[in-house]
Every structure is written in C-alpha cells, then in structure tokens.
Amino acid sequence: TVWVNTYNVYDPSASFGGFKRSGFGRELGSAALHHYTEVKSVIQSLA
C-alpha cells in the first residue's frame, strides 16, 4: 500500500482483498457489506 499526503483513508466503493485462495476475500466496500449482512423483513403494527 502506498499513501500520498494522507494515511488510512479508504474509498467505500473500493474493496480490498484477493481472489480465490489468496486470502480471506474482500474487505472494506460493498462486497464486504453484502457478505456480512442478510435481508430481513420486519412488519410492525402502527396501532
């Protein structure tokens, strides 16, 4: 990693990680968000 005039700043749209067996997958970004979350529907009565 190369930092120029900044340190530890990530673009949320850019994921970090490798492909196939090169690591643990993608981190930081929408790919990681989709990996660690799941869709859930909640219905609440307003009365």
Distance CA(30)–CA(22), nearest Å, equals 20
Residue with tokens 């859930």, as numbered in its chain: 40
Backbone angles phi, psi at 30, to 5 degrees: -65, -30
Q: Classify residue 19: in a domain, yes or no.
A: yes
Domain count, the chain: 1
Kindly state whether residue 33 falls inside one of the protein's structural domains: yes
Owning domain of residue 17: 10-38
Residue 10, pLDDT score: 65
Contact predicate 25/38, CB 8 Å: no
pLDDT for 34 equals 74
Q: What does the pLDDT read at residue 21?
A: 56
In this prediction, residue 43 carries a pLDDT of 92
pLDDT tens digits along 1-47:
677 777 766 666 666 655 555 555 566 666 667 777 888 899 999 88
How far is 23 from 41, CA to CA, in rounded Å? 33
What's the confidence (pLDDT) of residue 16?
A: 60
